[in-house]
Every structure is written in C-alpha cells, then in structure tokens.
Structure 1
Amino acid sequence: MRKSIWFVALALVFACKDKPKESQEEMEETVEATEEEESDWVTLFDGTSFDGWHMYNGGEVTEPWKLEDGAMVLYPPEERPEGANYNLVTDQEFTDFVLTMDWKIAEGGNSGFFWGVKEDEKYGEPYLTGPEIQVLDDERHPDAQNGTDRLAGALYDMVSPSENAVKPAGEWNSVELMVNHKTNEGHVVLNGTKIVEFPVQGPEWEELVANSKFAEWEGFAAFKTGKIGLQDHGNMVAFKNIKIKEL
C-alpha cells in the first residue's frame, strides 16, 4: 500500500510541472491527505506472527492456531479437553473504530468476530460480553436456518443482512465493521456491499438487545471500550489482513 502511495505522489509531482500554481497546491494537498489517511490505520495482524493477540483469559497464542500463507488459521482438535476454548482477543482495547479483515470459513463451519469484549474470569467466552458479527457457511451450517439474523455478516441475533453478499465456504470474504459512539452509528460492509446498519447505544440499541437472546445476560454489550475477539466455534476458520483505524 505504501508503494502505491509513492507512485501516485510521483505521478502528481510530474503532472504539476505543467499546471498552474493553484492546481499544484491542490494536488500536493491530495497526496498529503492520502498519506495521512493511510497512516491512521494500524495493522493488528501482519501475517507473520501473533503479536498483539493472546488466548482469551489465557496466555500466548499456540496450537490449534497456526500461521499459514499470511493468515491465522484455527484447526480445532477432534478431542477437546473439557472446558477448553481457543478464542483470541487483542492485547489492546478500542472504543470507536473501523475494523477491516478477510475471513474464510470451512464447509459447514461457524465462527465470528466481536467488539467490546471484556476479559474477566467470570466471563468464560467473548460472546458473553461482545456483540458478534457472524462468520458462517450459509449453505451448509444449520444455524443459517434459524433466522436471517444468523447469516454471514449479520449482527448476530440482532440485525439481519439486507442482502446476500457472502462468498461460498472456502473463499475469502472481505469485511468492514464500523463502531462509532460519537455518531451512534455502526455498520457492516461485506465484499464491498453495506449489508447491516445499527445504532451502538441509546434506546434503539437497548431495544435490539432486549429482543435478542442476550436480553438477560448481565455483561452483554455492557462495555463501550473493549477488545476485538476472534471466535473458536469448533470449526476450521482463517483470518488475515486485519487492520483498525480509531475514530
């Protein structure tokens, strides 16, 4: 990405030679704005290490997570120790942000990612506190038959996708999640299509929670600032190109 910015910058510099001074200044401002926007993004996963991540309520990331071809991939064990989970969370906490990533789910698979996750021993799983964006094989996983608010890209059990933009199991999907408490806006963009919009606080948000299965969960959506989480739902799943821009 950085290389492409410099190519643009060089092209604009050469173009500026034959342009009036005002046009040159406008082009230079465009380059500066582009560079500033790029610098706002922070890489949460660069494809080479698990730096910045750890097991939820645990230590460093180990098996069954592996690094493969620039992605973090979960290979859930066939025999799971009682009470074991392999959810991941970021070391850092976030409040208002735009999060982007690519995900790929195995055939028949189910997973998800969360925001606003509170790490505490009294919460055994990230989903007990963090709202979830669904990652699913819509064609094969039975949860897809439990309502449209369970489909890939949904704000799980709360807001359904407005249209089907997901790619089949085994293919990479690109997703953007925005959470902005300043403007009370949230959205999900899947493969370039905005499919979900929602408030993130106030009466409308409270109504969404009240009408979901999370209504009586003490800690659910209770933390405006929290960690980003990746779900172990017992199926193979992969994530890559994870970046965040704080708002």
Structure 2
Amino acid sequence: MKRYILSILAGAALTACFSFNEPETVKNEPGTEIKQGWKSLFDGKTTAGWHIYGKGAISSAWKAEGGAIHLDPAARKQGVAGGDLITDQEYDNFHLKLEWKIAKNGNSGVIFYVHEDPEKYHATYNTGPEMQVLDNEGHVDAKIHKHRAGDLYDLIPCSKETVKPAGQWNKAEIVANQGKLEMFLNGTKVVSTTMWGEDWRKLVAGSKFASMPGFGTFKSGKIAFQDHGDEVWYRNIMIKKL
C-alpha cells in the first residue's frame, strides 16, 4: 500500500510539472505582471495603454465595453474620427494572445512590428505584417487568395482554416522570436515562416507590399488593431516578451 501511495504522489507531481494551463491573472490592469511572464494589454474597462496611430489621443470610435475593445462604426458615421488602434509600447521578440470577434461581412486585422512614423509611413500596414481578421463567409476579401481569416495577409495563406463564423470568438496567437514567426488560430498553427532573410524579401516582393520599402523590415514595433470601417471586438489581450 505504501508503494502504491508513493506512486500516486509521484504521478501527481509529474502532472503538475508538465501542466500547460493558461496563465492566471494576478491583477487585470494594463502592464501588470501576471504568472509565467505574461502582461495584460487591456484592463477590460479602459483603453489605457493604447492610442490612434499617428495621434496622441484615443478615438471614441474605439470603446472599452463588455470586457472587450470594440470598434463602433456607427460612431464614425456620426463624424467621429477612427483610425488604427495601436499600443503605446514597442515589442521585439514576443508571444501575443488575444480573442477576436468580427461582425457579419466585417474586416479587420492584427498588425505587428508597426513603426510609428506617420510623416514617413501614413498607415500601420506600411511597415507591419498583418494577421487577417475577417468574416470569410460574408466579406468579398475572402475570395482573394491569402486574404482570408488567419492568413498572413497577402503573403502566406493558412495551412488549415479553423476560423469560426461571424459573431463568434476566435482565439489567435502570434509568436515572433528572432525572426521566426508562427501564427495560431483556435489552437492550430496556421502560418510558419522566417522573417528578414532573402526568402522573406522575395515573399514581400511578390505581394502588394512590394512598393512599400519599410514593410516587414523592422525588428521591433507596436501592435495595432485595424480600423477597416467594420464592427470588431478584441478581448483577453496578453503578451509575453521572449
């Protein structure tokens, strides 16, 4: 019996050692350290830590409500200026986790390695690659190869489509470490590539970004949520520096 109990205890210890549960939040505030080195980029209540690209302020078209950051296109129709929402801080090697939900026929994107210099680069996509956020069933962009949800926009298509329909939450991850780029959608790795080498430059040269000399060249930058004029939500936004 003693040997049996020791065996059970040893098994429990191994299970604890190799548990890969989601990081547990200590405090839900921007920049707060959470377990396993993660930080929250959204406190669930405000847009603190974010601003509009090229501007020091936030746009009221982007709202913190219902535990999510929400782009309200109705506000834009009422004359409120929009723009891409961007982090105050820059990141080089990182693991980003978030959830997104798109409205029917909607389009948005998660753009990273954004170099914020609006006098030289008028938009976030002039420098930052994008993980596409899209209603594949309703938006015309879905008819274009490499423009579907989860694609590395206009560069690499998903290896497998795992996106959920409009109105449902999707879990996305972007891991960028020393040039190695991996993207996950709903638990499945959908894109894997290496940035900044000769193969990357050829990839960019064959895309719509070929005429943008700064695109995909920066090794540190900000993270942006694209304002494409459609309703979109982002929540549970966490990042870990690698």
**What TM bracket, shorter-length normalisation?**
0.7 to 0.9
Who is 2:77 aligned against?
78
1:125 to 123, 142, 157: 123
Indicate the larger mover: 26-35 or 211-220: 26-35
Write out per-residue CA displacement over residues 203-229 of structure 1, whole angstroms, 9 at most, x where no aligned residue: 121111111111120221121100001
CA contact 1:179–1:200 (8 Å) conserved in 2: no
Who is 2:222 aligned against?
227
CA–CA separation in structure 2 for the residues paired with 1:46 and 1:112: 21
Who is 1:7 aligned against?
none
Instruction: Give me the TM-score of the superposition, normalised by structure 1.
Output: 0.82
Who is 1:144 aligned against?
142
Which ranges of 4 or more aligned residues in structure 1 deviate by more than 4 Å? Answer: 26-29, 31-37
Number of corresponding residues: 224
Shift of the alpha carbon at 1:196? Answer: 1.1
Counterpart AA for 2:49 = G
Instruction: Give me the TM-score of the superposition, normalised by structure 2.
Output: 0.84
Aligned 1:1-247 pairs, distance under 5 A: 19=6, 23=10, 30=17, 38-76=35-73, 77-78=76-77, 84-122=81-119, 123-147=121-145, 149-181=146-178, 184-247=179-242
Shift of the alpha carbon at 1:62? Answer: 3.3
Write out per-residue CA displacement over residues 142-192 of structure 1, whole angstroms, 9 at most, x where no aligned residue: 111121x100000000000011100000111000111111xx321111011
| Unmatched tracts of structure 1, length 5 or more | 1-17
CA–CA separation in structure 2 for the residues paired with 1:166 and 1:27: 34
**Whose helix fraction is larger, Structure 1's or Structure 2's?**
1
* Aligned-residue RMSD, C-alpha: 2.6
Shift of the alpha carbon at 1:61? Answer: 2.0
Identical pairs, percent: 44
Indicate the larger mover: 194-203 or 98-107: 194-203
CA–CA separation in structure 1 for the residues paired with 2:190 and 2:217: 25
Counterpart AA for 2:97 = T
Shift of the alpha carbon at 1:78? Answer: 2.0
CA–CA separation in structure 1 for the residues paired with 2:117 and 2:49: 18
| Unmatched tracts of structure 2, length 5 or more | 25-33
